[in-house]
């Protein structure tokens, strides 16, 4: 079969099917296939006697168990995977010969692993951190890995500094504190000793580090790569992923609470969305730069601490990825998958970005130990769909039975096979870049502008986003014990923006910079902001989770009308009450309670709604958990809705400076109103306009104009 026909949307699945094992076998066996007759009691010399060594089943069971752990990834240890496919919009022949980027009818299978970076495998999902976004394309040319992050720049410029960076950000070496957090002395010591971090720190302290969902964050290749077309012409490129559900984040207080209430929040969200058929989708984009434009910018295009501003190099959206299948076995697939930026296919090549150059070495190297030797490419999740013939033999856990006599090239015994392919035969030919230079440990002058793009990022933020960054500094630097380090951070960020440095200093008990500094950059790039980005989707409530607070005697008609409207928009409603089980409405209808107050919490939802029903609201008013629910959702700037008597609960919750339905305005009583994301209606006749306003409020995701109301104690 030729290579092109071999790859379609289903081909990876079919390849994996050959190694899948169904749980439905009737009999338990040993590793040798011998049926086991007892797996509960070990073989002993007498009922109360010692266990016998000849109990091969016991020995085998325990031995395997003793060896079940493998080393976790040194970074990106905690991850979540999903399968899907990728489709290009139109042939990219002009720019690249990569086969998977030619035919819009072709669906190339992919496996994606999202991850946090710093925490150990069992740490919480919602920590402040960069997120990994690694994609393996199983193309007909072989595997192509795009190993990216959800932020477009990196902390350091040269791979040789990576061990220092990671040592500083991981828990401190004497006591392994803190877990999954940068908020400690060694990391900020590292930062203040390396001003090249400035730009990345702005991203890490922004809302980008707190994604609402893996389905709602952007992805970036970070490093500069190359597209090479069939004529051998090369162009520099940067890769982008854009989530079709928009780019949304949690708020800091919420993330910390979720870390306790549901440490698997992002993992669960991805899994459940795929199980429910809400397949995450991401558009694939490239910024393409002609080689002759390499030196046109005031930054070096090889510097991974710099973006290429979209205003200068626009993004071309060239395809879409859909994730539509959950793995069968976390360990076999998500844990054993091995990504490597050096896994490229003809048509995609590297640049001299010094961070990328180091990455090209590091991934294979770390995987040799993590996956126990040189044959990990044979693990099913890592196997390409393209045939492999490489003359490599032996080593731990070799699976393939290579027939024939030869494992060398050239040979006469084996008909000179397998032989290298020419460029016409799609052999990988490295881009013939002209390289000349002295052997030197140095970096180009333009790499040394550390602050301009940090300032560009700062300028591009909306006001609430700026406030979040300042608060993040107050948390992170506030946790640093050594005042000298705190001061050094303030002084460093005085080079970015003087006002920002003053604000940081004010919160962390050190002196404001002697002289107000700052980068002179005044330019903005609105797409760097989640709030201002034109890419952000603010008109859909698809897959948002809405909490319905109810008790016995609720108004069924109101509840059903609101639920129908929300579900028609693709949102998910969850009924929450004191106890699980069935609840009766005032009219005798019944509804099943999905969660009780012990099993859930407002931080796990995107919005909250309280339907009317006199008796229901009388109960909820006496219930601290319900009031807290509303208060907390309000504090986190989430949409809050109530109809009929439900509005009474909002009054008890005492939401500051919000107009509610039922209140007197200058000349009449308001019957329906939407005020800063709090949507209320009293009369039955207002339910349609309530639904419209509530949906609009949910689509906006958060209502930051309320953020000043921090007097809400939740
Ligand atoms: Fe990685 N990185 N990295 N990294 N990285 C690893 O490889 C490394 C960098 C990224 O879900 C490791 O198999 C060096 C940038 C992701 O399995 C390791 C440098 C970006 C993942 C490694 C970087 C990334 C990794 C750990 C600086 C964004 C998880 C385990 C030169 C573009 C992939 C492993 C997965 C994993 C090395 C910097 C993304 C140690 C030396 C920049 C998404 O090899």
| Domains of the chain by residue range | 79-166+211-382, 448-528, 545-706
Asked if 299 and 452 touch (Cβ cutoff 8 Å), the reply is: yes
- In sign, the C-alpha dihedral spanning 468, 473, 474, 475 is positive
Q: Which residues of 369-388 are buried (b: 16+ CB within 10 A; e: fewer)?
A: ebbeebbbbebbbbbbbbee
- Architecture of 79-166+211-382 per CATH? Beta Barrel (2.40)
574 Cβ contact partners less than 8 Å away, ≥ 6 residues apart: 545, 546, 547, 548, 594, 595, 600, 605
Per-residue confidence band for 1, with pLDDT thresholds at 50, 70 and 90: low
Which residue is associated with the tokens 């393996």?
A: 136
**Euclidean distance between CA atoms 353 and 256, whole angstroms:** 36
The 10s digit of each residue's pLDDT in 230-279 is: 999 999 999 999 999 999 999 999 999 999 999 999 999 999 999 999 99
The number of the ligand 1 atom at minimal distance from the alpha carbon of 154 is 42
Q: What tokens were used for 539?
A: 């008109």
Mean pLDDT of the 293-310 span: 97
Q: Are strands 142-149 and 131-139 parallel, antiparallel or unpaired?
A: antiparallel
Identify the helix (H) or strand (E) that includes residue 167. Answer: helix 162-169
Asked if 97 and 230 touch (Cβ cutoff 8 Å), the reply is: yes
Q: For residue 542, give Cα distances in angstroms to 314, 606, 698.
A: 28, 11, 10
Residues belonging to the active site: 76, 149
The 10s digit of each residue's pLDDT in 647-700 is: 999 999 989 889 999 988 777 888 999 999 999 999 999 999 999 999 999 999
Instruction: Find the length of the chain.
Output: 714
CB-count burial class (<10 Å; 0-12, 13-18, 19+) for 659:
middle
Mean pLDDT of the 202-215 span: 98
Q: What is the DSSP letter of 35?
A: B
- Ligand 1 pocket residue status of 147, Cβ below 6 Å: yes
* Domain topology for 448-528: Hemocyanin, N-terminal domain (1.20.1370)
**Euclidean distance between CA atoms 509 and 490, whole angstroms:** 11
The 10s digit of each residue's pLDDT in 176-200 is: 999 999 999 999 999 999 999 999 9
Q: What tokens were used for 50?
A: 């010692």
- Ligand 1 pocket residue status of 73, Cβ below 6 Å: yes
**Euclidean distance between CA atoms 346 and 102, whole angstroms:** 13
Q: Closest by alpha carbon to 698, among 517, 542, 592, 593?
A: 542
For residue 3, pLDDT over 80 is answered with no
Coil, strand or helix at 90: coil
- Ligand 1 pocket residue status of 74, Cβ below 6 Å: yes
Which residue is associated with the tokens 């109809």?
A: 643
Question: What integer best gives the mean pLDDT of the chain?
Answer: 96
Going from the Cα of 434 to the center of ligand 1, the distance in angstroms, rounded, reads 28
Identify the helix (H) or strand (E) that includes residue 315. Answer: strand 315-325
Going from the Cα of 76 to the center of ligand 1, the distance in angstroms, rounded, reads 7
* Domain topology for 545-706: Rossmann fold (3.40.50)
Asked if 656 and 711 touch (Cβ cutoff 8 Å), the reply is: yes
Beta-ladder partners of 83: 111, 325
Q: What is the pLDDT of residue 316?
A: 98
The 10s digit of each residue's pLDDT in 66-87 is: 999 999 999 999 999 999 999 9
- Ligand 1 pocket residue status of 236, Cβ below 6 Å: no
- Ligand 1 pocket residue status of 115, Cβ below 6 Å: yes
Q: How far is CA 455 from the centre of its chain?
A: 25
Beta-ladder partners of 283: 242, 320
Going from the Cα of 75 to the center of ligand 1, the distance in angstroms, rounded, reads 7
Q: What percent helix, strand, coil does the chain show, rounded to 5?
A: 30, 20, 50
Going from the Cα of 92 to the center of ligand 1, the distance in angstroms, rounded, reads 28
ipTM of this complex: 0.97
């Amino acid at each position: 079969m030729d290579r092109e026909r071999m790859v379609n949307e289903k081909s990876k699945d079919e390849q994996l099917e050959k190694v899948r094992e169904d749980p439905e076998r009737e009999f338990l066996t040993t590793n040798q296939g011998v049926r086991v007759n007892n797996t509960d009691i070990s073989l002993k010399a007498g009922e109360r006697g010692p266990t016998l060594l000849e109990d091969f089943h016991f020995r085998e069971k325990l031995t395997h168990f003793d060896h079940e752990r493998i080393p976790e990834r040194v970074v990106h240890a905690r991850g979540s995977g999903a399968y899907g496919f990728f489709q290009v919009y139109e042939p990219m022949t002009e720019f690249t010969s990569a086969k998977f980027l030619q035919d819009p009818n072709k669906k190339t299978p992919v496996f994606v692993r999202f991850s946090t970076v710093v925490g150990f495998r069992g740490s919480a999902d919602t920590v402040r951190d960069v997120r990994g976004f690694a994609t393996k394309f199983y193309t007909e040319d072989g595997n192509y890995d795009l190993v990216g992050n959800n932020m477009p720049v990196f902390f350091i410029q040269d791979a040789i500094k990576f061990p220092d960076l990671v040592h500083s950000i991981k828990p401190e070496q004497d006591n392994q504190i803190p877990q999954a957090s940068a908020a400690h002395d060694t990391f900020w010591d590292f930062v203040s000793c390396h001003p090249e971090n400035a730009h990345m720190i702005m991203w890490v302290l922004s809302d980008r580090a707190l994604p609402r969902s893996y389905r709602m964050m952007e992805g970036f290749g970070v490093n500069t790569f190359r597209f090479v077309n069939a004529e051998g012409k090369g162009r520099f490129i940067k890769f982008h992923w854009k989530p079709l559900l928009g780019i949304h984040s949690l708020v800091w207080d919420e993330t910390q609470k979720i870390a306790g209430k549901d440490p698997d929040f992002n993992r669960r969200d991805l899994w459940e969305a795929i199980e429910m058929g809400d397949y995450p989708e991401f558009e694939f984009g490239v910024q393409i730069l002609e080689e002759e434009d390499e030196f046109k910018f005031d930054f070096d295009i090889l510097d991974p601490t710099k973006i290429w501003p979209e205003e200068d190099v626009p993004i071309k959206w060239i395809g879409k990825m859909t994730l539509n299948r959950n793995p069968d076995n976390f360990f076999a697939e998500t844990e054993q998958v091995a990504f490597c930026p050096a896994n490229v296919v003809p048509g995609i090549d590297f640049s001299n970005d010094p961070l990328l150059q180091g990455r090209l070495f590091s991934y294979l190297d770390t995987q040799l130990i993590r996956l126990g030797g040189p044959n990990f490419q044979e693990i099913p999740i890592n196997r390409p769909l393209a045939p492999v013939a490489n003359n490599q033999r032996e080593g731990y856990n070799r699976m393939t039975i290579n027939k024939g006599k030869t494992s060398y090239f050239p040979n006469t015994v084996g008909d000179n096979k397998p032989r290298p392919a020419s460029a016409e035969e799609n052999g990988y030919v490295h881009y013939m870049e002209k390289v000349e230079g002295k052997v030197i440990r140095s970096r180009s002058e333009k790499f040394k502008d550390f602050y301009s793009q940090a300032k560009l990022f700062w300028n591009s933020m909306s006001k609430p986003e700026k406030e979040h960054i300042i608060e993040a500094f107050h948390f992170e630097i506030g946790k640093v014990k050594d005042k000298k380090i705190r001061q050094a951070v303030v002084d460093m960020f005085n080079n970015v923006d003087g006002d920002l440095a003053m604000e940081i200093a004010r919160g962390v008990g050190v002196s404001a910079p002697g002289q107000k500094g700052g980068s002179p950059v005044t330019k903005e790039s609105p797409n760097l902001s989640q709030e201002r980005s034109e890419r952000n989707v603010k008109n859909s409530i698809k897959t948002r989770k809405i909490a319905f607070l109810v008790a016995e005697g609720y108004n069924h008609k109101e509840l059903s009308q609101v639920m129908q409207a929300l579900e028609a928009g693709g949102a998910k409603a969850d009924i929450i009450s004191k106890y699980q089980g069935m609840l009766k409405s005032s009219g005798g209808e019944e509804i099943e309670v999905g969660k009780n107050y012990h099993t859930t919490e407002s931080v796990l939802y995107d919005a909250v709604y309280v339907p009317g029903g006199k008796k229901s609201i009388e109960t909820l008013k006496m219930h601290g958990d319900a009031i807290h629910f509303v208060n907390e959702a309000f504090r986190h700037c989430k949409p809050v809705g109530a109809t009929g008597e439900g509005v009474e609960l909002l009054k008890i919750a005492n939401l500051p400076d919000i107009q509610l339905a039922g209140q007197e305005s200058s000349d009449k009583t308001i019957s329906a109103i939407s005020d800063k994301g709090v949507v209320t209606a009293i009369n039955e006749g207002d339910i349609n306009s309530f639904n419209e306003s509530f949906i609009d409020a949910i689509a906006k995701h958060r209502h930051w104009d309320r953020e000043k109301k921090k007097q809400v104690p939740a």
